[in-house]
Amino acid sequence: MTDDKDCGNHQGNRWWKLLNRHTKVIIISSLIFLSIILFVILLIFLILRPSKPCFTLQDVNLYTFNLTTTLTSYLQITISSRNPNLRIGIEYDKVDVYASYRNQQITLPTRLPPTYQGHKEVTVWSPYLNGTEVPMAPYLAMSLAEDETSGTVLINVRATGRVRWKVGTFVSGRYRLNVNCPAYIMFENNNVDGSAVKYQFVEGCHVEV
């Protein structure tokens, strides 16, 4: 084992010695220059201190909300994100949006397209969320029925995924994104099935990065 390692090291040293002085200078200078560039970009990134994006739930179109022993729901939401940073871009990757009731997921996740958001830019998404015959815990089904009877149901629209910060050509590692948007849905009847009912919001969302 020792002889093999020595042989490998010897070959590596031999390769380096075969290079002429001019080539060595170019390689070393390039590595130093690249290190300086990366250090400067990282320093700028740390000085700028990126701010997390601001999410807003704008509206919900409710097509179906039918509770029996299970819950079937179909809705379209409009959610926007604003990049508050002056010099830092944001890349969104693998962001899933879904609806929940009292921390129980009631729709399948819908994947948003990968998105780059420039400085001070606003991005708007309008995904459809669907949950068919989702089993509900008995106490949650009872609570939801009571909320429907009272006329108001609090649904949380959530988004989870990853973001990266971009400064010039430098792109940071991935950071976990968690968004929670409360939506108070008003019911005249216990169930909605058929024509869409639109609810307008200008609700700020809680964002964690």
The pLDDT-based confidence of 78 (bands split at 50, 70, 90) is: very high
Taking phi first (over 0 means left), then psi (-120 to 50 degrees means alpha), and beta for anything else, what does residue 102 get? left
Q: Are residues 81 and 176 in the same domain?
A: yes
The pLDDT-based confidence of 69 (bands split at 50, 70, 90) is: confident
- Give me the domain span that covers residue 13: 2-48
Domain containing residue 64: CATH number: 2.60.40
Q: Are residues 10 and 80 in the same domain?
A: no
Q: Are residues 13 and 102 in the same domain?
A: no
Specify the number of domains making up the chain: 2
Q: Are residues 25 and 75 in the same domain?
A: no
The string of pLDDT tens digits covering residues 127-147 is: 999 999 999 999 999 999 999
Stated length of the chain: 209
Q: Are residues 142 and 191 in the same domain?
A: yes
**Full-model pTM:** 0.76
Q: Are residues 30 and 125 in the same domain?
A: no
Taking phi first (over 0 means left), then psi (-120 to 50 degrees means alpha), and beta for anything else, what does residue 151 get? left
